[in-house]
Chain A
Amino acid sequence: MLIRNMFRNLFKNKVQFISIFIMSFLGLFVFVGMDSEVAGFTEAEEAFYNEYGLADIWVRGMKFMPDDIDKVKGLEGVKDAERRASVKGKFLLPDREADMYLTFIESNEISRIGIVEGETYSSGKSGIWIDYVFANKNSLKCGDRVKLKYEGKTFDETVRGTIRHPEYVYFLRDSASMMPDYGFYGMAFLDASEFPLENGTEFNELIIDAEGIDNYVPVNDDEKAVRKSLEAKIREVLENDTLAVLDKDDQLSYQTFRAEMDQHRGMSFMFPVVFMLISVLGIITTMTRLTKRQRIQIGTLKALGLSKSVITMHYVSYGFFLSLAGSVLGALAGYKYIVDLVLTMMADTYLIPNPRGKLTSSGVFVIAASVAVATLVSFLSCRHQLKFPPAETLRPEAPKHMKTSRFEKSALWKGLGFATQWNLRDVRRNKARTGMGIIGVAGSTMLMISAFGCLDSIEFITDWMYGQLNTAGYQIVMKDNTPYEEVYEYAVKYKGQMVENISAVFEAGEIDKNGTVTVIERGSLLHFQDDDFRSEGLTENGIAMSAKMARSLNIWEGDFVRWHLTGDDKWQKDRVVQIYANPGTQGITMFRKVYEQHEYKFMPQMVLTNMESVKDLDDEAVLGVQDTKGLMRSMDEMKKMMYMMMAIFISAAVILGVVVLYNQGILSYVEKIREMATLKVLGFTTGKIRLILQLQNVWITIAGIILGIPLGKLLLYGIMADMPEQMDYRGIIFGPSYLYSAAGTFVLSTLVSAFLSRKVRSVDMVEALKGIE
């Protein structure tokens, strides 16, 4: 019979119970969706790497000769090695020249080409194998004759096949891009004999299949150790101390995908936690209210001889069954719908074949956790009404005895007016309920603030990067090894500022990091700001370090850093004289003068300028001209993702707000129904009573908003800190966003409260005063 009683109670309080159900549902919906996506995508990733034998180690920094391969192959722990030439050329389309990563290979045993369509590769075979997205978007077919250009030399090839490649799961057009836009640029593989330059193939890279490193992700410590020991051996046998010996973690493709998966994993946990929080608040308010209202019923059941444990179980089962049903259904729905949605979205960014969702045991674990929390909270909320003997429970609960505070005796109190006095007393007497209301509103504000903040931050970073730090309209990118004099001519001609970027390793204490050394000529286009966005000039007296790099090396202004350029064996040790903030490249920056004091030669590859005439530049020495507006456009992709995130956050904020405010409102309404009836009998109008009730709501809302703003900032900072290592994104919230969030929360709260206060009119004086259902 109690089961029937439960179902009828569920039905009677359907709004609250449905909200509990929905919260459990949503939590698991998102969690299992994301978790299965991550698990399935990772599985597809591993399968892809396995099938095509992704290389374990990459060696760069010299020209590799045939006997170098033999030397490396002879090393213990090396299963196989291949050399190849990786360069960046152009693909000549009818209307434009597309950037193209070209790899010239001798054999295809490590990091094998995955044929999508067409012929397989074999050593010495002529023709080109081109990435399938580029081929599709530009309507290229097998057998087509295509034109390419490298180092000013144009050459023809026949398309042999369209391919994917384990090293090109993710790749960008250039280091200034933020998001991929496949098809606009591409990658291709050719045989080494096709290398277009006269003085032979420039074998600048060696890839290794190593013992003790597998294709399962992520790269573990043992595998790191293998790399370290091989690194020493390779440098020794090739007699070159400055070779860069890299593992998968250093590969943009591998590393970006990993970071993305980590981010999804982080998000997947955040949602059940947020929704569980809402559902906990919902359960507390609903169950407290239910057991309070059913106090006499509980007393009766006890008096009739039902044991405490049976009654407890009865009330606990509400939370238990609802969260169980919600979680399980949510998990199933998440697996069915979210996985495909996210995978479809991701498939445009990460070129991994056959991604499919995969259920993991974490789903079961989170279901169990969610049900356990709901059950425990139900238990705690109804415990109060169950602990007394039936004789006690059968009488109406005595109002809490409250001493009048000193404040209530002061003159100020008397001047407050009845509504304020009444509400202050009510708040004092119901601290838990009030607290819950404030937490709910705060959570709602928090989500809104961080949602708007995400957008603001992207907006800010775009402007920061391309409006404040770099005010050049165009960047002329020179070919590799263009002599200084030639670059200088461009700088003079276009009133430009010359820049050189060199990749480097930085070291402080135990920590070492990869990054970039930026060397600049004096000029007016690059600007610097300190960690608090205050403008400052770049120091003349030494090196300056980017803020994020400094943080990850745990370096402060005045500390020393050791660094060396990739491909150079000399370690440098410098005092960091300045810390500057930059959202993009992380590393150190210095003036040319300082660089030359280190006895390096300044070899700029880039000229920044504001002269529009460079747009059509088509000189021999120029690799390309980038338009800053184009770079800004690539940020729009990022914005699209942020919009989705924002939509999710704001929906969660609305649900949270409505559930908590409605619950706390109806709870206080039930508690106050007698008082309201009394007020009515005493002659207060319905409107006046409504005002009294809404006043409290206004207080709670304001308190919640004040608490929610800093929480929202924290959440935003957390989200931004989660960005990949080479980006230093700052959480920024513009003034209006505070206003929108506060106003949004306020409107939400007022709507809920207006909806609730309609009930005041329906308070039946006689019924309410008689009480006891």
Chain B
Amino acid sequence: MSLIELKNISRAYTVGDREFYAIHDINMNLEEGELVVILGPSGAGKSTLLNILGGMDSPTEGEFFFDGRDIARFKDKDLTDYRAWNVGVVFQFYNLIPTLTAYENVALMKDVRANSGKRSVWNKGDVEVMAPENAIAAVGLSERMDHFPSQLSGGEQQRISIARAIAKNPRLLLCDEPTGALDTNTGREVLKLLQDISHKEGRTVVMVTHNSSCAEIADRVIRVKNATVVSDERIESPKDALEVNW
């Protein structure tokens, strides 16, 4: 069984009196441990798809199975629970809480898990929240732990936001244009981190980008255009992130 199965997923918006699809009739399966890049031009529906995968938005049609449960039918509370246990998110603009230090931003994940409760259906007793120090060490920023986001560079902020995402030990790591605001070198380092998380730790990583060079590091590249999937190819020997050029 795949970790994620999307069946005829659509997301419609009504603007004014008109209804249109941000994504339409999408079918795909994602496997445990895969590094998937979703590629497409602006407005194609990439972020919409990612939001649905992350339980941040609900599809208007279709079924979305995660580990056998239909997330598409979840309501607010269950979605929160789903996010708390399974999903780590990395945003294009980092979205760190400006009033918390790097350490505290990561430590916040403990609150998230505690708040979600031990009785969650996702709690199999085998996932612990990482100690914030370890998560930050994993992204190589132990020195900067007590800095506030405004005292960190963009790349550093993005690494902290990755540390925050992996601290939960999520089964699914979602990244929306994680390198979008970064220069080439810093971007490479961030990509490397994501690749390691997928390859060394065996987590499913889904990365959205419109930059095809980033796609070279993926195990699998899914192209979307005009709200639908246009191609889905497996890459046998992905490039190492540090060799990517753009």
Binding site for B on A (CB under 8 A): 1-2, 4-5, 8-9, 12, 296-297, 299-308, 310, 389-392, 394, 772-773
Interface of A is mostly: helix
14 further A-B contacts with Cβ under 8 Å, apart from A5-B100, A391-B56, are A1-B104, A1-B105, A4-B100, A8-B100, A9-B99, A299-B95, A302-B83, A303-B89, A305-B83, A305-B112, A306-B80, A306-B111, A307-B84, A389-B56
**With contact pairs A9-B99, A296-B95, A391-B51 given, residues A2 and B108 touching in the complex (Cβ less than 8 Å):** yes
Contact A304 B93 (CB under 8 A): no
* Per-residue A-contact encoding for B109-130, CB less than 8 Å = 1, 0 else: 1111101100000000000000
Complex interface: chain A residues within 8 A of B98 (CB) = 297, 773
Q: Does B58 contact A (CB under 8 A)?
A: yes
* Per-residue A-contact encoding for B35-62, CB less than 8 Å = 1, 0 else: 0000000000000100100101110000
Complex interface: chain A residues within 8 A of B87 (CB) = 305
**Which residue of chain A is the closest to B132 with respect to CB atoms?**
A1
Complex interface: chain A residues within 8 A of B51 (CB) = 390-391
Complex interface: chain B residues within 8 A of A389 (CB) = 56-58, 76, 79
Give A312 Cβ to nearest chain B Cβ, in Å: 12
Complex interface: chain B residues within 8 A of A304 (CB) = 83-84, 89, 108-109, 112, 164
Q: Does B193 contact A (CB under 8 A)?
A: no
Give B120 Cβ to nearest chain A Cβ, in Å: 10
In Å, the complex CA distance between A303 and B93 comes to 14
Complex interface: chain A residues within 8 A of B84 (CB) = 304-307
Complex interface: chain A residues within 8 A of B104 (CB) = 1, 4-5
Give A285 Cβ to nearest chain B Cβ, in Å: 20
Q: Does B85 contact A (CB under 8 A)?
A: yes
**Chain A to chain B contacts (Cβ below 8 Å), 10 pairs:** A1-B105, A1-B108, A297-B95, A300-B95, A302-B80, A303-B91, A306-B84, A306-B115, A307-B84, A394-B56
Interface centre among B54, B99, B107 (most CB of A within 10 A): B99
Q: Does B97 contact A (CB under 8 A)?
A: yes
Complex interface: chain B residues within 8 A of A297 (CB) = 95, 97-98
In Å, the complex CA distance between A1 and B111 comes to 7
Contact B99 A300 (CB under 8 A): no
Q: Does B77 contact A (CB under 8 A)?
A: yes
Contact B57 A392 (CB under 8 A): yes
* Number of residue pairs A-B, CB distance < 8 angstroms: 89
Complex interface: chain A residues within 8 A of B80 (CB) = 302, 305-308
Contact A302 B56 (CB under 8 A): yes
Contact B93 A391 (CB under 8 A): no
Q: Does B168 contact A (CB under 8 A)?
A: yes
Give B171 Cβ to nearest chain A Cβ, in Å: 13
Contact A305 B58 (CB under 8 A): no
Complex interface: chain A residues within 8 A of B107 (CB) = 1
Complex interface: chain B residues within 8 A of A1 (CB) = 100, 104-105, 107-108, 110-111
Complex interface: chain A residues within 8 A of B81 (CB) = 305, 307
Interface centre among A2, A5, A307 (most CB of B within 10 A): A307
Contact A5 B97 (CB under 8 A): yes
Give A9 Cβ to nearest chain B Cβ, in Å: 6
In Å, the complex CA distance between A2 and B89 comes to 19
Give B111 Cβ to nearest chain A Cβ, in Å: 6
Give A426 Cβ to nearest chain B Cβ, in Å: 23
**Which residue of chain A is the closest to B168 with respect to CB atoms?**
A305
Interface residues in B68-83 by Cβ distance below 8 A to A read 76-77, 79-81, 83
Complex interface: chain A residues within 8 A of B83 (CB) = 302-305, 390
Complex interface: chain B residues within 8 A of A391 (CB) = 48, 51, 56-57
In Å, the complex CA distance between A5 and B98 comes to 9
Complex interface: chain B residues within 8 A of A12 (CB) = 99
**With contact pairs A300-B91, A303-B83 given, residues A310 and B56 touching in the complex (Cβ less than 8 Å):** no
* Per-residue A-contact encoding for B9-38, CB less than 8 Å = 1, 0 else: 000000000000000000000000000000
Contact A303 B56 (CB under 8 A): yes
In Å, the complex CA distance between A567 and B42 comes to 100
Complex interface: chain A residues within 8 A of B105 (CB) = 1
Interface centre among A9, A305, A306, A391 (most CB of B within 10 A): A305
Contact A310 B115 (CB under 8 A): yes
Complex interface: chain A residues within 8 A of B77 (CB) = 307-308
In Å, the complex CA distance between A623 and B41 comes to 106
**Which residue of chain B is the closest to A398 with respect to CB atoms?**
B15
Give A315 Cβ to nearest chain B Cβ, in Å: 13
**Which residue of chain A is the closest to B112 with respect to CB atoms?**
A305
**What 3 A-B pairs have minimum CB-CB distances, sorted nearest first?**
A305-B84, A391-B57, A8-B99
Contact B93 A772 (CB under 8 A): yes
In Å, the complex CA distance between A297 and B99 comes to 10
Give B230 Cβ to nearest chain A Cβ, in Å: 23
Complex interface: chain B residues within 8 A of A2 (CB) = 108, 111
Complex interface: chain A residues within 8 A of B89 (CB) = 303-304
Contact B112 A303 (CB under 8 A): no
In Å, the complex CA distance between A300 and B113 comes to 15
Contact B111 A307 (CB under 8 A): no
Complex interface: chain B residues within 8 A of A773 (CB) = 98
In Å, the complex CA distance between A380 and B81 comes to 25
**Which residue of chain B is the closest to A8 with respect to CB atoms?**
B99
**Which residue of chain A is the closest to B48 with respect to CB atoms?**
A391
Complex interface: chain B residues within 8 A of A302 (CB) = 56, 80, 83
In Å, the complex CA distance between A406 and B35 comes to 56
Complex interface: chain B residues within 8 A of A306 (CB) = 80, 84, 111-112, 115
Contact B116 A307 (CB under 8 A): yes
Interface residues in B158-173 by Cβ distance below 8 A to A read 164, 168
In Å, the complex CA distance between A310 and B58 comes to 21
In Å, the complex CA distance between A296 and B111 comes to 19
Complex interface: chain A residues within 8 A of B112 (CB) = 304-306
In Å, the complex CA distance between A627 and B77 comes to 81
In Å, the complex CA distance between A302 and B107 comes to 16
Complex interface: chain A residues within 8 A of B85 (CB) = 305
Complex interface: chain B residues within 8 A of A303 (CB) = 54, 56, 83, 89, 91
**Which residue of chain A is the closest to B91 with respect to CB atoms?**
A300
Give A4 Cβ to nearest chain B Cβ, in Å: 6
**With contact pairs A302-B80, A391-B51, A772-B93 given, residues A307 and B99 touching in the complex (Cβ less than 8 Å):** no
In Å, the complex CA distance between A303 and B48 comes to 14
In Å, the complex CA distance between A1 and B168 comes to 15
In Å, the complex CA distance between A394 and B115 comes to 21
In Å, the complex CA distance between A303 and B83 comes to 7
In Å, the complex CA distance between A299 and B83 comes to 13
**Which residue of chain B is the closest to A393 with respect to CB atoms?**
B56
In Å, the complex CA distance between A12 and B48 comes to 34
Q: Which of A8, A310, A390 contacts B57 (CB 8 A)?
A: A390
Give B145 Cβ to nearest chain A Cβ, in Å: 14
In Å, the complex CA distance between A297 and B84 comes to 16
**Which residue of chain A is the closest to B76 with respect to CB atoms?**
A308
In Å, the complex CA distance between A11 and B183 comes to 34
In Å, the complex CA distance between A2 and B99 comes to 10
**Which residue of chain A is the closest to B108 with respect to CB atoms?**
A1
Q: Which of A300, A307, A390, A772 contacts B115 (CB 8 A)?
A: A307
Give B93 Cβ to nearest chain A Cβ, in Å: 6
Complex interface: chain B residues within 8 A of A390 (CB) = 51, 56-57, 83
Complex interface: chain B residues within 8 A of A305 (CB) = 80-81, 83-85, 87, 112-113, 116, 168
